[in-house]
Amino acid sequence: MGKIPPGLLDGVISIFGDYDQCLSIRSGYSSPSDAVYGKYCLIRPVIPLNNANDLLNFKGLDILNNETNARIKDKIKQDINKIKMLVSSNTVTSKIYAFHYGICIPSQCGARDVEKVLNTVFNPIIPIPIEVGPKCNVITDTTEWNAFYIAIL
């Protein structure tokens, strides 16, 4: 996880990072079963939609300055009717995702492990649950090259 991206306050809500670079990571082990690969996952802070009025009570986040928190509060107040309409008409899900952020983790790590660590670290700072996934991508060298495959090439 790097720096806060430019344009976040202007509505940039997805920071995908370098997907190809992550998937090209491979440790130096000669055996594919011992190798560590890069695994690309998306993390998503979750905003529960149980009660849109809870958003009006947003106090701000300690890691942001007063001006940024004031902008967020103003934006919530401006868009509260849209949010209420979304909440009342949404029968598919009870949550929305604030943004998406791409991360690269070792292939041996599970999405739930990363999710647990992120929530433990960030919950005291940003009291919003963070989800990882639903699917993480990894490329491994599991193809066994035998004479048949070599002959076809």
| 95-139 pLDDT per residue, tens | 666 678 899 999 888 889 999 999 998 887 777 788 898 888 888
pLDDT for 35: 82
pLDDT for 16: 82
- Determine the residue type at 110: G
Mapping DSSP to helix (H, G, I), strand (E, B) and coil, where does residue 63 land? coil
Residue 100, CA atoms < 13 Å, CB-side half-sphere: 9
| 11-52 pLDDT per residue, tens | 556 778 888 999 998 887 766 667 889 999 998 887 766 666
Q: What is the mean pLDDT of residues 46-63?
A: 67
Q: Are 12 and 5 in contact (CB under 8 A)?
A: yes
pLDDT for 70: 84
Q: What is the mean pLDDT of residues 40-67?
A: 74
Taking the whole predicted model, whether its pTM rises above 0.85 is answered as no
pLDDT for 145: 64
Q: What's 4's DSSP letter? A: P
CA distance 126 to 119: 9
Q: What share of the chain is helix, strand, coil (3-state, %, to 5)?
A: 35, 20, 45
Q: Are 62 and 122 in contact (CB under 8 A)?
A: no
State both tokens at 108: 């041996």
